[in-house]
Amino acid sequence: MEKERADMKWQQNRFKDGEYASVKERFPLETMHKARNFHMQIPGFKMSPLKNLNNLARMFGVGGIWIKDEAQRLELNSFKVLGGSFALYKYIQQKLGREGEPLTYEYLVSDEVKKKLGVLTFASATDGNHGRGIAWAAGKLGHKCNIYVHSETSRARIQAIRDYGATVTIINGNYDDAVRQVAVDAEKNGWIIISDTSWDGYTTVPLWIMQGYATMMLETQEQFSAQGIVKPTHVFVQAGVGALAASVIGFYYSLFGKDAPVCTVVEPEKAACLYESAQASDGAPHSVTGALDTIMAGLACGEPSPIAWGILKKTADAFISCPDYIAAKGMRIYATPLKGDPFIVSGESGAVTLGALIGILTEKGLEELKRFLKLDEKSQILLINTEGNTDPVQFRQIIWEGSNPVPKEYWTDENKGQ
């Protein structure tokens, strides 16, 4: 049943059926370890930190709030490079006729491979971070890259992609229009599409990308183990087309089945395609239209990835739709930590889960959602800071100038909701 209030809406997942075999097939442990083994060979690669906001957790009456901080992933300030680079690896492996055979990073950049493949051209549509990751990975491996963005993409995001040698094409419309146009132009020009969203006849590469994200989750589990925690009790994960959310939640269901954490998907209200899909009665993916006007640029996607939705409808517990000020609030909380908690630089898409969590823990009108999710003093909650300061102008407007303020009736008070 759907529950609404002025600032956040939520929907219980009515399609969850307890059948996880298909999820395990998509996220076999062997493949996830292969992805991580590849990533660990990339020069400069290291594990991103898992940070504990222990004092914030104590303030709001939960056991722990843990942040996997992808703002410190390579030089790209985002997790996206994990999926894109692994997809390029898998494509080249397939092109060389060496599927199932591990290839070293050194071999991929060798003269032998260049002679066999020549210079390939990879292409994708993006709101910023995915395209930047593809451009970086293609350049490292000696190939070309064409990235399509929509006309509202910020100049900083576009320049960040160009800085890695990609050709950027700006089209009219929104992210979904860019996806459609790059598919047409790639077919015409013989480019290889590396997209994190799927469509009819195009599912293999999006699955590779989701499997590549699992490197982050293998790291996370190792880091939890070092703290004496078997797994988090709760996971909040943000979603655009749903690839990251499906990867994170699919990972936990592949490992733990029915004993997986309680998993919640969080989206911007102007691009809440998964929330709308969960609301519908037919179990099919549903799109939202319009400008998709949200500060959460990385989540501004109106059409869900069918392959991602197929995983999420079997595994997620709830879907939440949030206004922009929830993300801005999360950014400010990360940037002004309680004494003893770590400082975290988080972009708009990275911070929405923290803003949503604090609202659930404190605000009247969300008590039923808090009870449904079983959030209490024993909860160990995992959030993923998916990006750092990837749009410096907007970041300063939010942190310095206070744009997207929280309405006064929703100001945080740790005594509320307790």
Could you tell me if 278 and 13 are in contact, meaning their C-beta atoms sit under 8 angstroms apart?
yes
- Residue at 62 is within a domain: yes
Domain boundary among 138, 159, 193: 193
Q: Strand ranges (DSSP E) for 70-155?
A: 121-125, 144-150
Co-location of 177 and 237 in the same domain: no
- Distance from the Cα of residue 129 to its chain's centroid: 10
Place of tokens 């989750």: 217
Closest-CA residue to 326 (of 216, 404, 226)? 404
Q: Does the pLDDT at position 230 exceed 60? A: yes
- Residue at 199 is within a domain: no
| Whole-number Cα distances in Å, 301 to 132, 190, 367 | 17, 26, 29
Classify residue 41 by its DSSP letter. T
- Residue at 251 is within a domain: yes
Co-location of 87 and 70 in the same domain: no
Co-location of 373 and 405 in the same domain: yes
Residue 127: predicted pLDDT: 82
Beta bridge mates, 382: 66, 235
Q: Does the pLDDT at position 1 exceed 70? A: no
Phi, psi values for residue 325, rounded to 5°? -70, -20
- Residue at 415 is within a domain: no
122: CATH: 3.40.50.1100
Residue 73: predicted pLDDT: 92
Co-location of 236 and 342 in the same domain: yes
Domain boundary among 166, 193, 220: 193
- Crossing angle of helices 204-226/80-95, nearest 10°? 130
Q: Mean pLDDT for the chain? A: 94
Q: Does the pLDDT at position 418 exceed 50? A: no
Co-location of 180 and 250 in the same domain: no
CA distance 221 to 227: 10
| Whole-number Cα distances in Å, 157 to 149, 169, 227, 273 | 10, 13, 36, 23
Classify residue 406 by its DSSP letter. P
Residue 192: predicted pLDDT: 98
Co-location of 236 and 316 in the same domain: yes
AA letter at 276: E
- Residue at 416 is within a domain: no
Domain that holds residue 146: 80-193
| CA pseudo-torsion sign 87, 383, 250, 367 | negative
- Residue at 417 is within a domain: no
Co-location of 285 and 215 in the same domain: yes
Q: Calculate mean pLDDT across residues 236-241.
A: 97
Closest-CA residue to 363 (of 417, 324, 315)? 417
pTM equals 0.95
Domain boundary among 140, 163, 193: 193
Split into its structural domains, the chain has a count of 2
**Residue 390: CA atoms inside 13 Å, Cβ hemisphere, count?**
37
Q: Does the pLDDT at position 414 exceed 60? A: no
CA distance 345 to 387: 8
Co-location of 97 and 152 in the same domain: yes
Co-location of 73 and 129 in the same domain: no
- Crossing angle of helices 129-140/155-162, nearest 10°? 10
Cβ-Cβ contacts under 8 Å for 408 (sequence gap 6 or more):
none
Co-location of 184 and 254 in the same domain: no
Q: Does the pLDDT at position 52 exceed 80? A: yes
Higher pLDDT, 38 or 127: 38
- Percent pLDDT > 70 in the chain is 97
Co-location of 230 and 127 in the same domain: no
* Tens digit of each residue's pLDDT (9 = 90 or more) over 337-379: 999 999 999 999 999 999 999 999 998 889 999 999 999 999 9
* Tens digit of each residue's pLDDT (9 = 90 or more) over 137-196: 999 999 999 999 998 898 989 999 999 999 999 999 999 999 999 999 999 999 999 999
Positions annotated as catalytic residues are 80, 127
- Residue at 198 is within a domain: no
- Percent pLDDT > 90 in the chain is 90
Co-location of 280 and 315 in the same domain: yes
